[in-house]
Structure 1
């Protein structure tokens, strides 16, 4: 059932056909200068593996940086305000980003926002022009509201792939193809920054299935596992630094023995604490999520883990067996 809300366009305060929101003559705000980077999205972002991999990259590129990477992905969320009949067995309708967005931006005050929406916005139905229009309106409004909140840089990510148990990539994924392509087109239509993960993930999945017909990136067709999150990070990181050896780096993060694997685990622990604390503090209407620590206690936990990270960084410099930790594989960051 579609959520009913009054005077949708007026409440959001945007012109859907407006152009020129971006300013290509102005260089993007350097990621190295950010104080807070906010990730928004649905359950895939909430799972957080690609966010933690991205933060691992930031700390590697800027070992003395104090950039905060905050994950506020929310399971089931949409930008379209739509919810299918019987969602969550009728327990609740899908949460709508705009019911919490103002509170999030006011309390977090991010410099950079990286947002990934689309998977839930077609509400797992065949392509509908009206549903598509609601997605487009939601994305345009999101950009406008973030810029009005003085966010210095807004970067969108296309939705990941959907693997139908019977139709494979020829089911709901065809809807996501339309959504992803529209978002990519906004690079020229509206001068938006858009990172495409959808079509590269689709190509990767197709290639893997030629060798392993039963291969899946997402066991349930929706939520990619760690390999899928690694792929997402593999396309996000080079967007901000195309000289960074992201494949070597990500392999090191996930091999369970390297310095970077230890770093990743510490960041994963911190991300979980900080995510739930901020979600609770900023508020949301999605039932079933853990109640986070109060922010002051979460900050103490974050400092505790940061001390471990700093100790790990110092130790890695001294240990010759952690050759990758000397950063010889990675060039200094050059902002994109």
Structure 2
């Protein structure tokens, strides 16, 4: 199934106008920050991206910091009764300045949208808030001396979600299309949404019940791999689009299989520490270790990963 998905994504993948630019930004970075909602916070696609970086064996591999926060939006919007009325959706800008000051990134990847339409029909006011949010994020990131790479929102599976009389994925089509058009203004945008939508549509020609998101929103393992494929391909490594599976792809890169869980552990360790230390208004998120302790443990994991690479 993963091989078939890879072929679909290869056929429908929409690449950046200047595919070399994201790679150059990554290579020049010491610290790469990811921002997003629960899909980013779960970290699956970022772990694949981090593993790809390790597999490059550069003299200095950038440190990847995942600061995704569940339920978050870039629009500042929240639906009535969110989470059963326990709390509104977090607004990225309530914590952004603290996150940037704490992590000190050179490059920021951001993926927002699936929560920003509040799971309602398209509305110009909500759409305007989404646009304003991206402009504000870009301005703040650049004022902090960083570069920004935008990832269009993932596919939303209308067939797996509660019955609606409209397609929420078509709402996200419009959000994604607007982001892609910002390339004309020299924004760096990776179009995940179109590729992921096309992959599901193609697969359903032979398997009508196929899904990458069993609950309609959160990608499963295959879904996170499709997301990672787009990031890695945008960096110029098109081999990823035809890979049969993550395991086969990284084996071909001669990344020791034992390094993968260490990479995941390091990523989660730093996520919990940085997100908790920067602070936020979202209940139910693990605080993590103090930053200095987390960095020390992350360095120990990095040493183990380098040892495995040296043996390869």
Q: 1:238-277 maps to which residues of 2 (within 5 A)?
A: 238-242=233-237, 245=240, 247-248=242-243, 250-252=246-248, 259-277=255-273
Supply the distance in 1 between the matched residues of 2:210 and 2:164 (Cα, whole angstroms): 11
Kept in 1, the 8 Å contact 2:240–2:249? The answer is no
Kept in 1, the 8 Å contact 2:277–2:287? The answer is no
Correspondent of 2:65 among 70, 75, 79: 70
Match of 2:122 in 1: 127
- What is the aligned residue count? 288
Correspondent of 2:287 among 282, 286, 291: 291
Correspondent of 1:281 among 268, 272, 277: 277
Q: Deviations for 1:112-136, whole angstroms, at most 9, x for unmatched residues?
A: 0000011100000011110000000
Task: Answer 1 or 2: which has greater helix percent.
Answer: 2
Q: Label 1:302 to 1:199 Cα distance change in 2 as closer, same or farther (>3 A).
A: same
Match of 1:182 in 2: 178
Match of 1:195 in 2: 190
Q: Deviations for 1:88-134, whole angstroms, at most 9, x for unmatched residues?
A: 00010000000011111112111100000111000000111100000
Deviation, structure 1 residue 253: 5.8
Supply the distance in 1 between the matched residues of 2:151 and 2:111 (Cα, whole angstroms): 5
Any idea what SS the aligned residue of 2:172 has?
helix
Kept in 2, the 8 Å contact 1:252–1:260? The answer is no
Query: TM-score with structure 1 length normalisation?
Result: 0.80
- Structure number with the bigger relative contact order (C-alpha 8 A, sep ≥ 6) is 2
Query: TM-score with structure 2 length normalisation?
Result: 0.86
Supply the distance in 2 between the matched residues of 1:247 and 1:298 (Cα, whole angstroms): 36
Match of 1:162 in 2: 156
Match of 2:32 in 1: 37
Supply the distance in 2 between the matched residues of 1:250 and 1:184 (Cα, whole angstroms): 27
Supply the distance in 2 between the matched residues of 1:109 and 1:101 (Cα, whole angstroms): 12
Supply the distance in 1 between the matched residues of 2:60 and 2:239 (Cα, whole angstroms): 17
Q: 1:1-336 maps to which residues of 2 (within 5 A)?
A: 30-151=25-146, 153-164=147-158, 165=160, 171-188=167-184, 190-242=185-237, 245=240, 247-248=242-243, 250-252=246-248, 259-316=255-312
Unaligned runs of 5+ in 1: 1-23, 317-336
Bigger Rg, which one:
1
Q: Label 1:177 to 1:243 Cα distance change in 2 as closer, same or farther (>3 A).
A: closer
Deviation, structure 1 residue 30: 3.4
Unaligned runs of 5+ in 2: 1-17
Kept in 2, the 8 Å contact 1:234–1:250? The answer is no
